[in-house]
Amino acid sequence: MNSEKRLKSIPTMAKRLAEQGDEYRQVKIEVVAAAKKYNTSEDNIRPVVDYPDDIEW
């Protein structure tokens, strides 16, 4: 994605982050459950995600 296209998509991304949709709520429920299961803070729960080695900015 070129820089102009990224710049134009910022408002859309910000809106999606602020809305806390169904996917966000589901992840939140799972994080809270994992934190309770392991008797730790929600801040200590990390997703298992494979990030690409090279990110093009």
Cβ atoms of residues 25 and 18 within 8 Å: no
pLDDT at 51: 80
pLDDT at 18: 85
pLDDT at 34: 96
In tens digits, the chain (57 residues) has pLDDT values of: 688 888 889 999 888 888 888 888 999 999 999 999 999 999 999 988 888 888 787
pLDDT at 1: 66
Distance separating alpha carbons of residues 24 and 16, to the nearest angstrom: 10
